[in-house]
Amino acid sequence: MLGLPDTTLDDPYAAKHKFAPEESPCDYLERRHSQIMRCITTRNESIQLEDYGVTQQTDQMLQTSAQEMPPDWWLVPNTRLKQRPAIISEGEKLETTLRILFQIAHFNLMIPLHFPYMLRSNCRADHEYSRAARSNASREFLSRYINFRCANEISFCCRAIDFSAFTACLSLLLAHIERWYHDADVVDFLVHQRASDRALIEEVIELMLEVDHSDSGSLLEQTASILKALLDMEADAASRSAGYLKSPSADSSGDACRNY
């Protein structure tokens, strides 16, 4: 609106204290996310979008950030509640909430990073990595979004995270819709994820409607209706596809079994 750039080339954290992951995981990851977000925005506003190397470099930054965190930090919160004391302090609840939010933010950055290569008609072989990475990030995001929305320890309302969940659902649904129009010889890396992905999206729709149950006709209700329509479109595309419930190598599976 003001004609100002979305980002600046200056790195506000470059000259400041560098947090080590083991000292303050959340602070470290927050600063790394800020740098990565700046790279994505800069790429989107320039001709660098056509330079896949820029996307690969940014993806490498995300990989490095994730690998530098303690491995157990990436566990989905509440997966080991049975092994923890029955009474959890408010500070621990807040820490758990912040951790899952930072995990959500991490996977949320991967989606717009690889989204531009989703529906390109001139998709190159190396763009297949972006398609797989985007779908995996969407799946990881949604599993944590569901966990976050189902954890009622702390009251929380944020439309931004709901919109990001919509984007992740949209990413997965478009990937599944597109796969039904691939040639039979194209490797289908989503073939075993369709049922679970649809279940994830259906759960997200239910959660959106529960969160927004008091406001009929609101934005979340409209968002849920869009996702329902896309689920129907994907199911229709699946029913029309000659490759439904058939893997690309199904014709040669018998020979493969005999050779084995």
Residue 247 maps to a domain: no
Candidates 214, 244, 218, 229; CA nearest to 169 is 229
d(CA 168, CA 161): 10
d(CA 3, CA 44): 16
Question: Reduced to 3 states, what is the DSSP secondary structure of residue 211?
Answer: helix
d(CA 139, CA 169): 8
Phi/psi of residue 27, nearest 5 degrees: -65, -40
Give Cβ neighbours of residue 171 (< 8 Å, ≥ 6 apart).
111, 115, 118, 134, 135, 138
d(CA 168, CA 227): 11
Give Cβ neighbours of residue 141 (< 8 Å, ≥ 6 apart).
104, 107, 108, 111, 164, 165, 168
At residue 60, the pLDDT reads: 96
At residue 259, the pLDDT reads: 44
Q: What average pLDDT does range 164-186 have in this prediction?
A: 85
Structural domain boundaries, residue 145: 125-242
Residue 177 maps to a domain: yes
Q: What is the mean pLDDT of the chain?
A: 79
Residue 144 maps to a domain: yes
At residue 15, the pLDDT reads: 47
Residue 91 maps to a domain: no
Assess contact for 173 and 234: CB atoms under 8 A.
Answer: yes
Residue 27 maps to a domain: no
Candidates 237, 129, 128; CA nearest to 174 is 237
The pTM (predicted TM-score) of the whole model is 0.80
At residue 254, the pLDDT reads: 46
**In this predicted model, what pLDDT tens digit does every residue of 181-225 receive, in sequence order?**
766 666 677 888 999 999 999 999 999 888 766 555 588 889 999
* E-only strand ranges, the chain: none
d(CA 260, CA 256): 6
> What is the tally of helices (H) and strands (E) in the chain?
8, 0
3-state helix, strand, coil in the chain (%, to 5): 65, 0, 35
Residue 230 maps to a domain: yes
Residue 11 maps to a domain: no
Structural domain total, the chain: 1
**In this predicted model, what pLDDT tens digit does every residue of 116-166 receive, in sequence order?**
888 766 667 778 889 899 999 999 999 999 988 887 555 566 678 999 999
**DSSP codes joined into one string, 131-188:** HHHHHHHHHHHHHHHHHHHH--SS----HHHHHHHHHHHHHHHHHHHHHTTS-TTS--
Instruction: Map tokens 């529906």 to a residue.
Output: 119
**Angle 83-85-87 from CA coordinates, rounded to 5°:** 145
H or E segment and range at residue 48: none
Q: Would you say residue 94 has pLDDT above 50?
A: yes
Residue 16: pLDDT band (50, 70, 90) is low
Residue 168 maps to a domain: yes
